[in-house]
Amino acid sequence: MHAHTHDTEKVVSVGVVGAAGYAGIELLRWLSGHPGVSVDAVFASSRAGDALADQVPSMRGVFDLTLQDSSPETILGVGLDAVFLCTPHEVAADLTPPLLSAGLVVLDLSAAYRLKDAGAYPTHYGFEHPSASLLEQAVYALPELHAPEIAQANLLACPGCYPTSSIVPLAPLHAAGLLDGSFPVIIDSTSGVSGAGRKANERTSFCEVSQRPYGVFSHRHTPEIAQALPGAKVVFTPHLGPYERGIATTIHAQLAPGKTVEDVRGAWADTYADAPFVRVREPGDFPGVGDVAYTNFIDLCCAADEQGHLIVCSAIDNLAKGASGQAVQAFNLRFGFPETMGLLASGTQRGVIA
């Protein structure tokens, strides 16, 4: 079923692998309102043969599609231009090489191609990387920082949700030398429960879920954040929050001698002057997850004391700017669409998860 096709405009044929998970559902929500996209196939091996609408009732009447098995042969048999992978990391690592070599543009929402060091995968993700040679070729698809590379790439490694909430505020400050490197950058983030995925788990079940830290000194997103801030010492602690969606991140750092909050705001203004989804808020107006839910925005705010202790706060929707919205933003850059296409109007609607 073709969504909003216009004869006069380019239409890209896309498929979504892992279409019945939270990131896949969110992605379909954004793509359903994108005039440059035709969603021609959905895949979910564990539910192959089921109607998409039976697994994702919100898609009833939107996409009349049946879930197919996600083997390379099946995916390649459809004749797609691009495919979004909303799958476990190992699945994406294995699927990508045959899809790439057949000429598809691959937008991978897993971590399979985010890290440049193949040796980091056994340590942080528990598997040996099957196609390490592709790690160099993959572009880290954070649109605000890597738009020119994204426009040329066929393998787009879409950033993680926690790293997006940390790298967008920190990268310009790190690059401009505003931070004192002898102090660690301390990042505390809380994510809504949808970040844990759709699969049942006692810790995230309705009666059990509570605010708590996890992955202390061991979370797999730490190397992804550190990779974007070369030379910085990063201490990252994620927390589970008892709500559906959104990430609130609070970052502590030390300003370099003589640097001020005005320098921080100036670096953001310079780097993100043309970034449609970065909203720098007025001093003291710290963002909450409700301000960005169901949108692709990241809201930033900062403050510092007389001793140069800097606090930076950001908020994103973990399923949108933290995953599927960001993937569509990268897709737009890659296929020459306006960066905001399909990402503004739908942001005003409450979505399929909550």
Give the catalytic positions in this structure. Answer: 161
The C-alpha angle 152, 158, 161, rounded to 5 degrees, equals 150
Strands 309-316 and 247-254: antiparallel
How many separate helices (H) and strands (E) can be counted in the chain? Answer: 10, 14
What tokens appear for 135 in the block? 């790690």
Q: Are 308 and 257 a contacting pair, CB within 8 Å?
A: yes
Residue 291 φ then ψ, to 5°:
-75, -20
Phi-psi region of 126 (alpha: psi -120 to 50; beta: other; left: phi over 0): left
**Kind and range of the H or E element at 354?**
none
What's the CA gap between 147 and 165, in Å, rounded? 18
Residue 68 φ then ψ, to 5°:
-110, 165
Give the chain's length.
354
Residues 6+ apart with CB under 8 A from 113: 92, 93, 96, 134, 135, 138, 155, 157
Within 10 Å of residue 341's Cβ, how many Cβ atoms?
A: 18
Q: Are 302 and 310 a contacting pair, CB within 8 Å?
A: yes
State how far the alpha carbon of 219 is from the alpha carbons of 124, 213, 222, 253, in Å: 8, 11, 6, 20
Q: For tokens 């698809």, what's the residue? A: 141
Ranges of H-type helices in 116-230 = 120-125, 143-152, 161-175, 221-228
Looking at residue 324, the DSSP 8-state letter turns out to be: I
